[in-house]
Every structure is written in structure tokens, then in C-alpha cells.
Amino acid sequence: MEKYMFIFIGGDPSKLSPEAQQANMQKWFNWVDKLNKANIYVAGEALVPGGKTISGPKKVVTDGPFAESKELVGGFFVIQAKDLNEATEIAKECPDYELGSTVQVRPVMKFDR
């Protein structure tokens, strides 16, 4: 089994009613439970909007990213799968596609130490 990261982009649930937000969160909890029971969930967290961005050789610090951005990374999972195709199929179960979300599926690089 190899590790893959799901990077969740966009899909703003704040536009939903409180009841719909709660139902959406339950879908996420159910998905995590399913992945845990299959022993393929490694880690994952939601990210709070905002923060700082550091860039360039001069290490310029700016505010952001901002919640208004359609490209805002909202969180990540790390899962185990036999290959990229299997990881991609698992990512299709993300609950936020209905909200316009995008999921990047990225292999995690292994380093020999």
C-alpha cells in the first residue's frame, strides 16, 4: 500500500443553512468512519481560512489565503491505497462535490533514509 494525499479545494459549506451544514458534516464523519474501518485512513484535518503566505528568496510574508478564494485549500486527508487509480476512486466519495469542491489526489513521495 502506498500513501496518497487528498487536497480539498473550494466547496464553501458556509452558504448552507445550519441544518444543511450539520448534515454535510455528518457525511464527512461517515466517510472518515468508512475509511477507518477499511484501515486506509492515515490522517486528515480541516483548515481554518486565513493565515500567512511566505514566498521568494526574501521570504516576503503576506496575509492569506483568504476565504473568498475559490482555490482555498479547506483541508486534507492522507490515505493508503494500492495505486493512484484506487486512490482516485476513493476520492470520488468526497461529500463536497455538490458544493463545487475539487479534490487533488497526490502520491506521497517516499524517501530512503
pLDDT at 64: 78
What are the pLDDT digits (tens) for 33-81? Answer: 999 999 999 999 999 888 998 999 999 999 877 766 667 899 999 999 9
CA–CA separation, 62 vs 104, rounded Å?
Answer: 25
pLDDT at 43: 97
CB distance 71 to 9 below 8 Å = yes
Verdict on whether the full-model pTM lies above 0.75 = yes
pLDDT at 67: 61
Average pLDDT taken over every residue of the chain = 93
What are the pLDDT digits (tens) for 89-109? Answer: 999 999 999 999 999 999 999
Domains of the chain with bracketed CATH: 2-107 (3.30.70.1060)
